[in-house]
């Protein structure tokens, strides 16, 4: 992970600004002979796409992805498959309204990256946030669609679990509800209430924060690497690196600070021959599927907090790039809760970390699981 490249063996490098001609990424290190079409990627992009409800930005972007390299027809099957060479994914920008930004082009919006980009580089593309825009995350979702195909049996999904003071009722968690409401909320009844709540936030010209939970099932034990490539550390970086994220936790997370050792450690029982591939059975999953930086084989559970959108109608005190004081009010198109669309982005990042570690583990240790074979 360095500059604009994510990952070690499964890697992707993104490019593009919010109001430039295109954004996209080059996915490198992908195993060969994996069936891959643009449609596979498009279905993930469509979940993140803006303009699908009144609760996200009204910018209309089809986010149509093209594969420019790295795939070829497998003669045996007639299917398009990966070749092991770089996969270039391009998404053209079509609905830039750069004039929306002309009024604030010299002003630093509080909570935005405009000031820090200027402090670092002495120049930045202010239009729509430029490189710091959440549009960049479309490239992550595209890369994530490929990552999902790499770990056999992997299933990564996510849901919004908090928005403002509203938290999910875990006793009524329903994965099948997530796709049926504009909030990725795992409970249809609660989602209705949220519509009213979010309308209030939106109409007041304000914004609100959120917490997202992402879960990966089908992760084999053994992924991760000591000591500075721990699986949880890499997940933390991947999620914290999403725009507007201010916190990340694994398993019981911050709640462990108030827990006793006997309540936190997950007890183990003997392998059930029929289930679990001969591996020990855990009686709980406080660890969120990771111990010592290495996957346990249980579901990996991570949460991340997204701050409220900084671009709001309410005027805020700021300075311009010459140091003069001014007020800023953002009239462009923005998400009242940028956390909503972060759900597929979080899933994508988790999938990418797992794909990378799956290949890294296979590199160091090979394909045969050391345990229980080597202990038998």
Site for a second copy in 175-214 (CB under 8 A): 201, 206-211
Strand partners, 124: none
Confirm or reject binding of residue 285 to a second copy (CB under 8 A): no
The Cα-based distances of 217 to 154, 230, 295, 297, 354 in angstroms read 6, 18, 11, 8, 11
Q: Which residues of 160-177 are buried (b: 16+ CB within 10 A; e: fewer)?
A: bbbbbebebeeeeeeeeb
Q: Which stretch binds a second copy (CB under 8 A): 50-58, 179-187, 192-200, 240-248?
A: 240-248
Rounded alpha-carbon distances, angstroms, from residue 336 to 183, 203, 307, 372? 12, 9, 11, 50
Q: Which is nearer to a second copy, 45 or 201 (CB)?
A: 201
Q: How far is the CB of 281 from a second copy (least distance, A)?
A: 9
Q: Select 47 or 124, whichever has its Cβ closest to a second copy.
A: 124
By CB under 8 A, tell whether 11 contacts a second copy: yes
| Residue 275 engages a second copy in binding (rule: CB under 8 A) | no
| Residue with Cβ nearer a second copy (176 or 376) | 376
**62 touches a second copy (CB under 8 A):** no
Produce one character per residue of 238-250: b if its CB has 16 or more CB atoms within 10 Å, e if not: bbeebbbbeebbb
Cβ within 8 Å of residue 46, ≥6 positions away: 63
Query: Which is nearer to a second copy, 199 or 263 (by Cβ)?
Result: 263
**Window 132 to 171, contacts with a second copy (CB under 8 A):** 132, 136, 162-165
Residue 227: asked if its preceding bond is cis (omega within 30°), the reply is yes
The C-alpha atoms of residue 96 and residue 82 are separated, in whole angstroms, by 32
One of 279, 341, 343, 345 touching a second copy (CB under 8 A): 279
Task: Tell me the closest approach of the beta carbon of residue 244 to a second copy, in angstroms.
Answer: 8
Residue among 176 and 375 whose Cβ is closer to a second copy: 375
Binding mask 352-371 for a second copy (x = CB under 8 A): -------xxxxxxxxx-xxx
Which residue, 176 or 262, has its beta carbon nearer to a second copy? 262
185-207 burial string, b = 16+ CB within 10 Å, else e? bbbeebbeebeebbeebbeeeeb
- Choose one: 44-52, 78-86, 169-177, 190-198; the region binding a second copy (CB under 8 A): 78-86
Comparing CB distances to a second copy, the nearer of 194 and 239 is 239
57 binds a second copy (CB under 8 A): no
Q: DSSP states of 152-183 as a string?
A: TT-EEEEEEEEETTEE--GGG--GGGGGGSTT
Q: Which of 70, 144, 186, 344 contacts a second copy by CB under 8 A? A: 70
Q: Which stretch binds a second copy (CB under 8 A): 39-47, 52-60, 104-112, 185-193?
A: 104-112
Q: How big is the CA angle at 134 (ends 131 and 138), to the nearest 5 degrees? A: 100
> Is 305 near a second copy (CB under 8 A)?
yes
Q: Which is nearer to a second copy, 176 or 373 (CB)?
A: 373
CA-to-CA distance for 142 and 330, rounded, in angstroms? 29
For a second copy, which residue of 110, 182, 218, 299 counts as binding (CB under 8 A)?
110
């Amino acid at each position: 992970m360095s500059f604009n490249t994510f990952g070690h063996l499964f890697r992707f490098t993104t490019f593009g600004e919010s109001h430039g001609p295109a954004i996209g990424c080059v996915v490198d290190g992908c195993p060969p002979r994996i069936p891959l079409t643009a449609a596979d990627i498009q279905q993930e992009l469509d979940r993140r796409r803006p303009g699908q409800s009144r609760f996200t930005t009204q910018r209309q972007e089809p986010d149509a992805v093209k594969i420019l390299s790295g795939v070829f027809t497998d003669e045996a099957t007639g299917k398009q498959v990966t070749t092991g060479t770089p996969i270039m994914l391009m998404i053209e920008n079509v609905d830039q309204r750069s004039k929306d930004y002309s009024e604030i082009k010299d002003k630093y919006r509080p909570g935005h990256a405009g000031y820090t980009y200027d402090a670092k580089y002495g120049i930045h593309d202010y239009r729509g946030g430029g490189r710091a825009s959440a549009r960049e995350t479309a490239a992550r979702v595209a890369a994530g669609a490929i990552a999902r195909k790499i770990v056999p049996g992997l299933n990564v999904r996510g849901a919004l679990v908090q928005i403002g003071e509203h938290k999910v009722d875990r006793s009524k968690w329903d994965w099948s509800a997530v796709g049926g409401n504009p909030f990725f909320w795992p409970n249809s009844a609660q989602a209705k209430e949220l519509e009213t709540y979010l309308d209030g936030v939106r109409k007041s010209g304000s914004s609100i924060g959120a917490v997202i939970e992402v879960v990966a099932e089908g992760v084999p034990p053994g992924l991760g690497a000591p000591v500075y490539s721990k699986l949880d550390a890499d997940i933390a970086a991947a999620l914290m690196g999403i725009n507007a994220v201010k916190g990340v936790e694994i398993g019981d997370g911050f709640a462990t600070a108030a827990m006793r050792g006997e309540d936190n450690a997950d007890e183990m029982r003997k392998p059930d021959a029929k289930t679990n591939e001969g591996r020990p059975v855990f009686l709980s999953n406080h660890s969120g599927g990771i111990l010592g930086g290495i996957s346990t084989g249980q579901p990996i559970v991570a949460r991340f907090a997204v701050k409220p959108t900084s671009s709001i109608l309410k005027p805020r005190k700021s300075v311009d790039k010459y140091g003069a004081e001014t007020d800023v009010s953002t009239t462009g198109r923005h998400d009242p809760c940028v956390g909503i669309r972060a759900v597929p982005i979080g899933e994508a990042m988790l999938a990418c970390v797992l794909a990378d570690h799956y290949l890294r583990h296979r590199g160091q240790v090979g394909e045969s699981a050391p345990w229980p074979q080597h202990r038998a």
